[in-house]
Amino acid sequence: MALYSEKVMDHFRNPRNVGVIENADGVGEVGNAKCGDIMKMYLKIDDDVITDVKFETFGCGSAIASSSMATELIKGKPVEEAMKLTNKAVAEALDGLPDYKMHCSVLAEEAIQAALEDYYKKNPQHK
């Protein structure tokens, strides 16, 4: 049995939404000291909808795949929906991650939460 699903490999080899958004409405950066992965998410938000999302991830293949899938799952979605994105949903969308790589999907969830918190800090009227 393959260690990683085809989807994980696809998002690792061809990550979606890589890059930086200048003047992003929300930026979140999280890291896991234990594995050394660092994830940074950039959000562009118009009328409470995430119109664009980009990420920069320094980490293993699972971290990159998790970031990529997470951005796909929240792009075009209302902020409220993005707030509810769980690491489990990210892992499921990737057709599963090995147990010892689940923390990568947790990082993706945390990076999005951090970016949304940043957005709310800058735009308290939207909370």
Catalytic residue set: 35, 104
> Which amino acid, 2?
A
- Distance in angstroms between the alpha carbons of the first and the last residue of the chain: 46
Q: Do 54 and 19 contact (CB within 8 A), yes or no? A: yes
Three-state DSSP class for residue 4: coil
Residues in Cβ contact with 54 at an 8 Å cutoff, skipping those fewer than 6 apart: 17, 18, 19, 20, 21, 24, 41, 42, 71
